[in-house]
Amino acid sequence: MKYPASEKLEIIRLVEHSHLSARRTLDKIGVSRSTFHRWCDLFERFGLKGLEDRRVGPPRARNRVCRNKLFAAAFEDGKTIFQCFRLGIA
């Protein structure tokens, strides 16, 4: 899940001031410890600007070859381009 910078900062502050351990607080929130520590590092180094999402454009397929093969197979099966988009393979 993507969090806006303001929510990331709120989570950092919440963990810092919680009476629970960082691990238990993060478990309750549903944020991994590695993600939390990365946010803390970015905030220390760059301030609130560092917590902003830097990714631009659509998410990339991790395995483009596999995705292209799935798309080709679905298209050959008579699926329309719109059905392929709904299946998340176009």
Segment 51-85, tens digit of pLDDT: 998 776 666 655 555 556 665 666 566 655 555 45
Q: What is the mean pLDDT of residues 3-30?
A: 91
pLDDT (0 to 100) of residue 59 = 61
CB atoms within 10 A of CB 67: 15
Q: Residue 33 pLDDT more than 90? A: yes
DSSP 59: P
pLDDT, greater one: 81 or 36: 36
Percent of the chain clearing pLDDT 70 (strictly above)? 60
Q: Give CA–CA dist 90/83, Å, rounded.
A: 9
All structural domains of the chain with their residue ranges: 5-51, 59-90
Which residues are CB-neighbours of 2 under 8 A, at least 6 positions away?
53
Work out the pLDDT band at 43, boundaries 50, 70, 90: very high
Q: Which amino acid is at 3?
A: Y
Q: Which amino acid is at 50?
A: G
Output the average pLDDT for the chain: 78
